[in-house]
Chain A
Amino acid sequence: MKKFLLLLHENIEALENLSPKEMEKLGNAHFTWATKLGEEGYLISGDGLQDSTTKISGKDCVIKDGPYIESKEMVGGYYLLQAKDLETVIDLAKDCPCHLWGGTTEIRPIADYEEC
């Protein structure tokens, strides 16, 4: 079984302006989707991420606090999944509620050097 990190690049502006009903629907959509993934054995874990972010760069460890307003998209959450191959995860990710409000999902296979 291989592991995959599903990153949710969310459209922050769209999400912040959802109506209460739309927020409720989106929350429930994530719950339902996560339930299905859990029942079918794909889900290892998942979390939403706060908008605040801190970047540390270079040898001097320069610290820069965000969010960075130049981009309306940011990683707003992740799911850690397990599946037999990438194709399975692509099929699963197509139904991710992140896409409902202008978000993009990105699949990153977890490196497994035993396979090399």
Chain B
Amino acid sequence: MLKNTIIFKEVEISYRKQYGKLFSALLFQYGSNYIEQIEDAIQNTFYKSLKNWKPNQVPKNKENWLFIVARNDLINQIRKESKTVETLPIIGVVDKEELQEDLRLKTILFFAITKNISTQIKVIFILKNIFGLHIKEISESTLINSDAIYKSINRAKKSFHPNKFEKLTRLEKVDRKTIEIVEEILYAVFNIGFDSFNSTNDSIVNDDICLEALALVKLLFQEYKLKSTSNLIALFCFHIARISSKESDKELVLFIKQKDNWNSELIKLGFHYMKKPKKLNRYYIEAIITSKHMTTELFDLNYWNQITELYKLLITITESPIVKVNLCYCLHQAKRTNEAVKFLEQIEKQLPENHLYFSLVKADILKKENAIESGEIINKILNNVSQDIRRKHIAENILPNL
């Protein structure tokens, strides 16, 4: 057969990253009165790229192509709605023909300073508009139902005050509290990416969310140089070093068997960014725990008792129920199961029903004392878990050991 000379490559552009960049650029240019139109413009633009980018004719500057098409789409929408051709309200700093500056961090700072909405609502809004997740993906990633997500997003849109947005042009005016909120938001986003439950996603990790969260937290550190931010980078580095080893041949790999495939450069980077703060800080303790977990030679009673103490320290500065679940797990590993059971009872009401991680830890803790309940929990997990890869892992590695 004759060989055709048409050889192509992949598009090689992350639409998820571009979504956030386009959203931020257009938001800074046209203001927060047009959030819905900006969302539609970006969606239309990606659809147009799908139709227009022929394999042998991809634009040289793909980012710019997306920006110009999205901006034109937005202008058309605004003009149609306002029925005026002349007056187009450009308010922001990106009055250019090119998408040059990455404004995602500025946009997150703008969301962070917005009062009257919870951090959870901010995280949901940022997942949608900075990380480009659709409602169904956010729902599958966070286990929050779609209706509640719609409501959160609408509430967020109503809360963003355009005047405040116009004032946020100089990053250095941001106070410490705002930076802490941004850290909290990026930490939550990272965790959602690190444990993906999306049934349509082939992977258990949304690595692009994790990598973009790392990129943004590094930008935050470059701007403000806080030790807490540095420790958050360290924590992200340790976790990302494990991503490629978490699964192999479409099967989950047990932590203990992952070690050979960890990224040593990222682990080194993690240690580089780990800085002892004056005041104890959540990310510092979590970075210490994670680094110990990745470097210990022996998972013996002494080790688990040390980690238990660190988690006990951690629960004095955070209310997170997940931290308490981790503490339960460590207590159980340290053969302090009675203490673990007491904690379990406290946590159960703080988490959604049938929470996967909590259920797994509970089943493990109960397996000796109450094998029947333990088995029932695992069967419930198997019925509820949305990803085949997780179901297979639980059925093959956990169920037989009960």
Contacts and interface: CB of A to CB of B under 8 A. Distances in A.
A21 B137 contact: yes
A35 B7 contact: yes
A71 interface: no
A48 interface: yes
Interface in B82-140: 132-134, 136-137
A49 B4 CA distance: 23
B4 A42 contact: yes
Given A16-B47, A21-B137, A31-B9, A47 B54 contact: yes
B50 A49 contact: no
A38 B53 contact: no
Given A31-B55, A48-B51, A20 B3 contact: no
B73 to A, nearest CB: 13
A71 to B, nearest CB: 18
Contacts, number: 97
A53 to B, nearest CB: 13
Given A27-B50, A48-B51, A20 B8 contact: no
A20 B212 CA distance: 15
Interface in A24-75: 24, 26-28, 30-32, 34-35, 37-44, 46-50
A90 interface: no
A39 B3 contact: yes
A51 B15 CA distance: 21
B51 A24 contact: no
A92 interface: no
B26 to A, nearest CB: 15
A102 to B, nearest CB: 14
B7 A23 contact: no
A28 B13 CA distance: 10
A76 interface: yes
A23 B6 contact: no
B172 interface: no
Contacts of B51: 48-50, 76-77
B105 to A, nearest CB: 19
B55 A46 contact: yes
A23 B3 contact: no
A15 interface: yes
B132 A41 contact: no
A17 B5 CA distance: 34
Interface in B35-56: 42-43, 46-47, 49-55
B190 to A, nearest CB: 17
Nearest to B17: A20
B10 A31 contact: yes
B317 interface: no
Nearest to A29: B10
Given A20-B15, A20-B132, A44-B4, A35 B50 contact: no
Contacts of B200: 22
Contacts of A22: 134, 200
B7 to A, nearest CB: 6
A97 to B, nearest CB: 10
A34 B47 contact: no
A32 to B, nearest CB: 7
A24 B50 CA distance: 8
Interface in B1-36: 1-11, 13-16, 18-19
Contacts of B13: 24
A43 B6 contact: yes
Nearest to B200: A22
Among A1, A18, A21, residue most surrounded by chain B Cβ atoms (within 10 Å): A21
- Listed from nearest, the 10 A-B pairs whose CB atoms lie closest are A48-B51, A38-B6, A20-B15, A19-B134, A24-B15, A20-B132, A35-B8, A23-B46, A41-B1, A34-B55
Interface of A: 1, 15-24, 26-28, 30-32, 34-35, 37-44, 46-50, 76-77, 84
6 contacts: A16-B47, A24-B11, A28-B11, A34-B8, A40-B3, A50-B51
Given A20-B16, A21-B137, A23-B15, 7 more contacts: A20-B18, A31-B10, A35-B7, A40-B4, A48-B51, A48-B52, A84-B1
